[in-house]
Structure 1
Amino acid sequence: MVLLENAQHVSRFIALANVNNPAKKKYLYAFSIVPLKNMDPAELVKQPQDVTENPYRKSLKESKKDKPAAAAAFQEEEPASQFFFDLGKKQQQGSVRKRHSEGDRPTQPKQPRRPPQPTGPCWFCLASPEVEKHLVISIGTHCYMALAKGCLTPDHVLLLPIGHYQSVVDLAAEVVEELERYKAAVRDFYKSRGRRCVLFERNYRSQHLQLQVVPVPVDRCSTDDIKEAFMVQAQEQQMELLEIPQHTDLKQIAQPGTPYFYVELDTGEKLFHRIKKNFPLQFGREVLASEAVLNIPTRADWRECKYSREEEESLTKKVREEFEPFDFTLMD
């Protein structure tokens, strides 16, 4: 599971036995420490796969009962303004940096941003021995494109960073720039084949960014139909899926480490859900596979519709050849 509150440091608790205990249980533990100043901000708030909530955390109501009224003013709470469109905090940080530059406080040189390293084997880091390279369609400088495992349609692809990044909000500027070029190229590719482009990301129980890109035939349904399908299914599962301004950067509404689900339609419309708990892992596929969109409900779970390696190689080769006229990496 992932933590429910805003992104913050994760603590590790290790229980050790007494020294020289009769049962000979482990009483020593060795570990290496990396100074905070040498760590990437995204790495500081990264949540491991087996993270759990603090068992001693009190509810907000209990905290208010325990604290006297006089101390309530010092209680740290999230601002009451709507978090989706409140950019006040960002502007305030900018003003603090400005004051520092005017000589109030000496500034330290900015540490170069480097991708966080995976905590274990990663199936999507291109340099990883676990990655299935026969699915790769195109490779850029910072990103690559691959056929989706158990794809919904024969040209359902993934856009992924070559380095290890957990989500879109973790990406460095140069990676975002190339990712946008890939998104534009795939949209043009689908459009030439009479298909709409639907992108979605699930930053929940995943350690490497996977931007799912699915084509939907134009004559099958409209963009409004696709949008309504997401909204209806979210409502049925009691999820708050909200529309956000088209030109809004996800980094403005979600900090690194924040679990979320995100959809981008071919019109530029964007849908966002801030995940708290019990989010259905196949939600994006379930909506697109539903009768309202692609009408292939048996392919909602990728594990139930995997191809053989030979079939995957054949599909990848076909998409690679068809995508070639739109592949900017072959033109630069």
Structure 2
Amino acid sequence: MSLKVSLTSNSKFKGVDILLTSPWPKEVWNYGNAPTDIDVKTCGSASVASLAATLKPRYHFSALQGANYERLPYRNHLVLQENAQHVSRFIALASVGNPGKKKYIYAFNIVPMSGTDSAELVKQPLDVTENPYRKSGKDEKKTQRSKALEEEEPAQQFFFDLNRQQGKKRQSDGRGGHQGKQPKKHPQPTGPCWFCLASPEVEKHLVVSIGEHCYVALAKGGLTSDHVLILPIGHYQAMVDLSSDVVEECEKYKASLKKFYKSKAKRYVMFERNYRSQHLQLQVVPLPLSCCATDDIKESFIVQAQEQNIELLEIPVHTDIKQIVQPGTPYFYVELDNGEKLFHRIKKNFPLQFGREVLASEAILNIPTRADWRACKLSQDEEESQVKAFRKDFEPFDFSLED
């Protein structure tokens, strides 16, 4: 603590060049490549992680675990919210003379921070990731998520109880009340929701796959017959609101759909509009490989955004959207099949069909009359026929069907 105070009390403090600690920092692998030779559940010190987060070392070395591990470099600033800062690199070295001949020496050249040009210092390598010590956009709290939140039970499927509370029984305070906080409830909609899977309003005939926390459904009035949505089973408004287990399964569905569309000689574009919407809908639109290249799709989004005075910014590939925007903030987000991402923070009016308008434009699918989903609605029989066909084709790629 005294080291942190003595260094950071200087208003000009930017970080340190080299930090040497015996223990690893706890969860240093977050958002990056995971180590293979250690137990990540027991490894690491929270105090060292806090120290590293504060001191922002350009190089951080540890050796207590006796394993060699070089983490991808991570940034020390919030993209679009803070001025760019230098990246940090964590290197763990194995024991000297270890029988497995794992690396225990690390040679490098470094010019001290004080003597490095500012522009050169803040250059971001292509493989840079988010800061592993920032668990969410609420990093200002500098605290770990509570155990109750970590152990929150995910929502169940269909008409299972979504309101079941978790946690230990609380002690009575002797006055008819209880001590301690109420167990955290799963977020609930304020009114009827067309996308909560337990809701009577949801059109279940459009569902093509159901996992533990997410489901995939054919888009109503889709741009194409294989345009689908990835949605959380429980009620979440946006990607930034998702718990870690829901995010994990969402990523699995992304990967499965990517493989599926590739087998059909297609690439996908995903977008989310967290504006005037109640429930997260991650739109997944496949495009024929012969239609246009990924760079052309990206350019179309940027050009058409400029034409409508929308500031659509490119954000780093490894960026977690939770690091950019706080829950409750309206935004529009695009993810391309090569991992590139575009982001717009909505401040006032935003065209509700913008994502579809770009993809339906002459530059891409050339079906401008289908930009509005309401002009593309089918009968229920037609929808059921499309769902049946999609489900059959997707079945070999659907991880939810695995034992």
The two structures share one fold, judged by TM-score above 0.5: yes
Correspondence for 2:282: 211
Correspondence for 1:187: 258
Correspondence for 1:18: none
User: Which blocks of at least 5 consecutive residues in structure 1 are unaligned?
Assistant: 1-79, 99-107
Q: Choose from 208, 216, 225 the match for 2:296.
A: 225
Q: For residues 118 and 298 of structure 1, do their structure 2 counterparts lie closer, same or farther at Cα, with a shift above 3 Å needed? A: same
Q: Choose from 314, 317, 331 the match for 2:388.
A: 317
Instruction: Measure how far apart 1:132 and its partner are.
Output: 0.4
Tell me, in whole angstroms, the C-alpha distance in 2 between the residues paired with 1:313 and 1:176: 28
Correspondence for 2:248: 177
Correspondence for 2:198: 127
Of Structure 1 and Structure 2, the greater helix share is in 1
Tell me, in whole angstroms, the C-alpha distance in 2 between the residues paired with 1:210 and 1:164: 11
Asked whether the 8 Å contact 2:332–2:344 carries over to 1, the reply is yes
Q: Where in structure 2 are the equivalents of 1:1-332 lying within 5 Å?
A: 82-83=80-81, 92-94=140-142, 113-332=184-403
Asked whether the 8 Å contact 2:217–2:229 carries over to 1, the reply is yes
Tell me, in whole angstroms, the C-alpha distance in 1 between the residues paired with 2:376 and 2:270: 20
3-state SS in 2 of match to 1:169 = helix
Query: What is the one-letter code of the residue matched to 2:356?
Result: R
Q: For residues 271 and 85 of structure 1, do their structure 2 counterparts lie closer, same or farther at Cα, with a shift above 3 Å needed? A: farther
Query: What is the one-letter code of the residue matched to 1:227?
Result: K
Asked whether the 8 Å contact 1:85–1:253 carries over to 2, the reply is no
Q: Name the larger-Rg structure.
A: 2
3-state SS in 1 of match to 2:329 = coil
Correspondence for 1:5: none
Asked whether the 8 Å contact 1:113–1:172 carries over to 2, the reply is no
Tell me, in whole angstroms, the C-alpha distance in 1 between the residues paired with 2:182 and 2:338: 38
Query: What is the one-letter code of the residue matched to 1:93?
Result: K
Tell me, in whole angstroms, the C-alpha distance in 1 between the residues paired with 2:290 and 2:80: 38
Query: What is the one-letter code of the residue matched to 1:205?
Result: R
3-state SS in 1 of match to 2:208 = strand
Q: For residues 243 and 129 of structure 1, do their structure 2 counterparts lie closer, same or farther at Cα, with a shift above 3 Å needed? A: same
3-state SS in 1 of match to 2:215 = strand
Tell me, in whole angstroms, the C-alpha distance in 1 between the residues paired with 2:387 and 2:341: 29
Instruction: Measure how far apart 1:82 and its partner are.
Output: 4.0
What is the RMSD computed on CA atoms of the aligned residues? Answer: 2.4
- TM-score norm. by structure 1 comes to 0.69
Query: What is the one-letter code of the residue matched to 1:123?
Result: W
Q: For residues 113 and 224 of structure 1, do their structure 2 counterparts lie closer, same or farther at Cα, with a shift above 3 Å needed? A: farther
Q: For residues 314 and 116 of structure 1, do their structure 2 counterparts lie closer, same or farther at Cα, with a shift above 3 Å needed? A: same
Structure ranking higher on relative contact order (CA contacts 8 Å, 6+ apart): 1
3-state SS in 2 of match to 1:323 = helix
Q: For residues 314 and 84 of structure 1, do their structure 2 counterparts lie closer, same or farther at Cα, with a shift above 3 Å needed? A: farther
Tell me, in whole angstroms, the C-alpha distance in 2 between the residues paired with 1:181 and 1:148: 19
Query: What is the one-letter code of the residue matched to 1:285?
Result: R
Correspondence for 2:110: none
Instruction: Measure how far apart 1:192 and its partner are.
Output: 0.5
- TM-score norm. by structure 2 comes to 0.57
User: Residues 258-300 of structure 1: CA distance to partner in whole angstroms, max 9, x if unpaired?
Assistant: 1000000000000000001110000000000001111110100
Q: Which runs of 4+ in 1 moved over 4 A?
A: 84-92, 108-113
Percentage of pairs with the same residue: 72
Correspondence for 2:150: none
Instruction: Measure how far apart 1:83 and its partner are.
Output: 1.1
Q: For residues 204 and 92 of structure 1, do their structure 2 counterparts lie closer, same or farther at Cα, with a shift above 3 Å needed? A: closer
3-state SS in 1 of match to 2:358 = helix
Tell me, in whole angstroms, the C-alpha distance in 2 between the residues paired with 1:85 and 1:112: 38
3-state SS in 2 of match to 1:163 = coil
Instruction: Measure how far apart 1:197 and its partner are.
Output: 1.0
Q: For residues 274 and 136 of structure 1, do their structure 2 counterparts lie closer, same or farther at Cα, with a shift above 3 Å needed? A: same
Instruction: Measure how far apart 1:92 and its partner are.
Output: 4.8
Tell me, in whole angstroms, the C-alpha distance in 1 between the residues paired with 2:394 and 2:365: 22
Instruction: Measure how far apart 1:109 and its partner are.
Output: 7.9
User: Residues 78-120 of structure 1: CA distance to partner in whole angstroms, max 9, x if unpaired?
Assistant: xx994177779865532x669xxxxxxxxx9887554311011
Query: What is the one-letter code of the residue matched to 1:250?
Result: I
User: Residues 171-198 of structure 1: CA distance to partner in whole angstroms, max 9, x if unpaired?
Assistant: 0111001000001000100001000110
